[in-house]
Each structure stands twice: as structure tokens, then as C-alpha cells.
Structure 1
Amino acid sequence: MANEKMEMSEVGVTLVSSEVKPPPARPPNKFERVFQPCLGELVGTTFFVFIGCVSVIENVESTGRLQPALVHGLAIAALVACMAEISGSHFNPTFTLAIYLCGGMEMNMVAPYVACQLLGGVLGAAMAKAMTLRESFTRVHGAAFAVLQPDAEIGGALFGEVAMTCLITTVLLLGAFNVKTKNPMVPFMVGCTVIFTILAGGDVSGTCMNPARAFGPAVVSNYWTHHWLYWVGPIVGGLIAAILVRLLLGDRKMRLILK
């Protein structure tokens, strides 16, 4: 009888317990694995390019590079923080390529991500054109990196894009994917890197570091002068960053050699 009372007491305690066991985690479906991440990249890149282009088109001369630097950096920090659990918050074909090379995503998602980023770049630039005055838009070619002129020093600008993209990609890879250096502050870290690279190199190359950011305004404004530089520079910089992390800076899981 005592045993029965004890069993009933245990049952009663269990029934009135405030602890609620969470339901078992449901594996993501196809929409969450494939389509939602692509939509996240499309939406995130669209708004990043939109707000970035507007900051350049409507830039006040007295602020110099400060206004575009702050807008690009703060926008990317906010978007990375919001979209990280949906798509990983790449918003940049260079980041996508580097992340894939470091084992952060599957190959079958690389092409859809890049396509969504480029489409997002075009949509964002079109939104910026719809919002701003025609005279302001035309003056800066829709923020399509009109810094370089035909007689400019292309070599220095190309080197700048390579070096600055290498820097920001390294920050992203070490802050978000390398177990030893992973940091929850990575959105802030990437945003700060965008700010100080634009402040440092904005007058040299415009500090693009993102082919999607260059491609959208170029399409909408039909301005293609030295456009190749904003593909070659960021891609080479991203590849160098991935090699550095994979071979030297990564932890034992990330490194391919010297384990």
C-alpha cells in the first residue's frame, strides 16, 4: 500500500510539474533547406544594394566618404544579424565562393545563391533609381563605381580591391566558420570592416568588395567602365582569404595541412 501511495505521489508530481519538455526538433523541409535560403539572399542583397546606392546617390559633399561608409557598414551588420539563421547572410558572390571552399555550404547551393545575389543587386539598384532624383542618379551613374576614370591608375585600384576583399573575407571566415575563433559578434565585426575599408580606400577604387553591389547599378545605369575590376579584384581577394584559412589560419578541422 505504501508503495502504491509513493507511485501515485510520483505521478502527481510529474503531472503538476511546471517543466514542459520541448517537442522533438523537426528536420527542415525542402522549402527551408533550398528555397528559403535563396529568398533570404535575394531579399538581403536587394536591401543592402538599395540602401548602399541611395547613400552614394544622395551623399552630401561635406560628409565625404563618411556617409556611404556608415550606411554600408551598419546596413550589412543589421542584415547579417537578421538573416544569419535563414541563409547564412552572404549577400556577396565572393563570400559564397569562399565559404564553399572552406566547407561551409554544399556545392549545389552555390549557383542559386550567386544568381539570387546578382538579381538582388539589380532589384536594389532599380529601387534606388525609383527613389532618387534623376539628376542625382545620373551624376554618379547610379552609384556604379564611377571613381575610376580612363586615365586612372588601374593597378592600384585592382590591388586595393584584392587586399580589402581579402581582409573582410578573412574576418567573415574566422568569425563565423572557424571553430577556434568563432564569435557571436561577427555581424558587428563585418560591419566595422566595411566601414573602415570604405573610409581607407573609397577614393582609390570605391571599395566595392562585392560583385553583386557593382553589377546591379551597372545594369540599371548602363555604366560598364572598368566594371571587370569589381569582379576580378573581389574574387581574387576572396580566394586568397579562403586559402589562408584553409592552409594556415584555420583550426585543425578547417586546415587541410599541418594538422
Structure 2
Amino acid sequence: MAGEKMEMGEVEASLMSSESKPPAARPPNKFERLFQPCLAELVGTTFFVFIGCVSVIENVESAGRLQPALVHGLAVAVMVACMAEISGSHFNPPFTLAIYLCGGMELNMVVPYLASQLVGGVLGAAMAKGMTSRENFAKAHGAAFALLQPDSNIGGAVFGEVAMTCLVTMVVLLGAVNTKTRSPLVPFMVGCTVIINILAGGDVSGTCLNPARAFGPAIVSNYWVYHWVYWVGPIAGGLIAAALVRVLLGDRKIRLILK
């Protein structure tokens, strides 16, 4: 009897130990490693730009900057939360460059991500054109950034794009890449940062912060006045944020000096 009890106990223990072991995780296949992340960037950027452009084209004047600010910020938060486990939810070329420079992605994915984001920007702007009336589309230049004119303060606009993109990129890097400060609230944090940036600087530069968001409407509406501002400013801001994290703010794994 004692022997039988010992055997039964060993069987039960072996069953319990086998049941407690989680199934082995299957390594991602080629589609999940290479193609699915690019598709996520394409789809995410498309819908972000689409929703953002519609919010500008159909903006109620009495709402001022509040309507575009809320729409862009909430759209970013939703898309980041949905796509984070597929592609990392960049949807913005400066984010991709900064994340690569801080060790958050492989070099071979940088160009495919950038291409997916720019194509997504064009598709999103085209969808916005198909949804809105011709009159409103023409009046808003297809949600291209038409705020800057020849008599505008170009220096202030460039500085604003640099500073505000630096801020939102630091939120992305510290909230999603840096191990010490990583947070599950990063979609909320990024969305809120976009909202406050647009509310603060919308009348200065239009608060683009994203070349894909500027490129798509510029292509669809053929509006290129001071378009370079929305490439130089955001890319410079993203690079400055990456430098700050790499040199000063990152953890020991990311920081290049003073380890």
C-alpha cells in the first residue's frame, strides 16, 4: 500500500509539474518579423493621417485648435495601443530614427518603416479627400500645413517644430524604449503630449511633428509652401531627443557615457 501511495504521489506530482509548465513560445516567422510590422506601420499611419486630415478639413471655426488637437492626440493613443505589439507603433519617421539610434530596432527595418509611413501618409490624405467636400478640401489645402506664408515667422516655426518634436520623441523613448522608465501608459502619454503641443503651438507652425503627416496632404493637394519646415524641424527634434537619451537620460544599457 505504501508503495502504491508513493507511485500515485509521483504520478500526481509529475502531472502537476507538466500542467504548470507554460507551452513553449513559437518563434516569429518571416511574415511576423518582416512584413507584418511594415503593414502595421502602413495601416496605422494611414488611419492616423486620415482622421487628422478630416479633423482639419471639417474643423468648426468656433472650436479653434481644440478639435484637431483632441483628434490627433486621441488617434495616436488608440493606434499606439493597438499596434504596439506588432510594430512598436511608430507612425512617424523621427520616432523610427530615434528608436533605432537608441537601440530599439534593427537597421534592416528602418528604411521599410520609413517607406511604409510615407505611403500611409499619402493613402490617409487621399482617403480624407474622398470623404470631404471639394469646397472644404480646397479651403483647407487638403489639411496640408498652409499656416506659414511669406510674411510668417519661419524661424519661430522651425524652432517650434524642433522643440515640440523633441518633447514627444523623448516621451516615446523614455516610455517605450528605456528600460528604467518604461511604462504601460505610453499610449496615453504620447497622445496627451500631442494634444498639449497642438494646443500650445498650433498657431505658430501648425504643429506637424511628423513628416508623414505633412507629406501625404502635400502630395494629394499639391501644396508645397514651406513644406521643408515639416521635415527639417521634426527630424532635428527627433535626433536631439535621441542624443539626450543616449548621453544623459537613458539607463546604463542605452547611455553611452557616465555608466
Measured against the shorter chain, the TM-score band is over 0.9
Any idea what SS the aligned residue of 1:86 has? helix
Report how far residue 9 of structure 1 moved: 4.0
Report how far residue 180 of structure 1 moved: 1.2
For 2:52, give the aligned amino acid. G
Report how far residue 10 of structure 1 moved: 3.5
Distance 1:13 1:96 in 2: 49
- Structure 2 equivalent of residue 166 of structure 1: 166
Any gaps of 5 or more consecutive residues in structure 1?
none
1:215 aligns to 2:215 (yes or no): yes
Summarize deviations over 1:201-228 as a string: whole Å, max 9, x none: 0010000000000000000000000000
Normalised TM-score (structure 2): 0.97
Any idea what SS the aligned residue of 2:158 has? helix
Distance 2:229 2:158 in 1: 6
Distance 2:194 2:17 in 1: 50
- Structure 2 equivalent of residue 204 of structure 1: 204
For 2:27, give the aligned amino acid. P
- Structure 1 equivalent of residue 76 of structure 2: 76
Summarize deviations over 1:39-91 as a string: whole Å, max 9, x none: 00000000000000000000000000000000000000000001000000000
Distance 1:166 1:104 in 2: 17
Distance 2:234 2:42 in 1: 20
Distance 1:69 1:194 in 2: 7
1:233 aligns to 2:216 (yes or no): no
Moved over 2 A (4+): 12-22
CA RMSD in angstroms comes to 1.4
Any gaps of 5 or more consecutive residues in structure 2?
none
Identity %: 81
1:185 aligns to 2:193 (yes or no): no
For 2:112, give the aligned amino acid. P
Summarize deviations over 1:19-41 as a string: whole Å, max 9, x none: 45432111111000000000000
1:94 aligns to 2:94 (yes or no): yes
Distance 1:18 1:58 in 2: 59
For 1:254, give the aligned amino acid. I
Report how far residue 4 of structure 1 moved: 3.1
Summarize deviations over 1:120-175 as a string: whole Å, max 9, x none: 00000000000000000000100001011111110000000000000000111011
- Structure 2 equivalent of residue 242 of structure 1: 242
Map 1:1-259 to 2 at 5 A.
1-12=1-12, 15=15, 19=19, 21-259=21-259
For 1:189, give the aligned amino acid. M
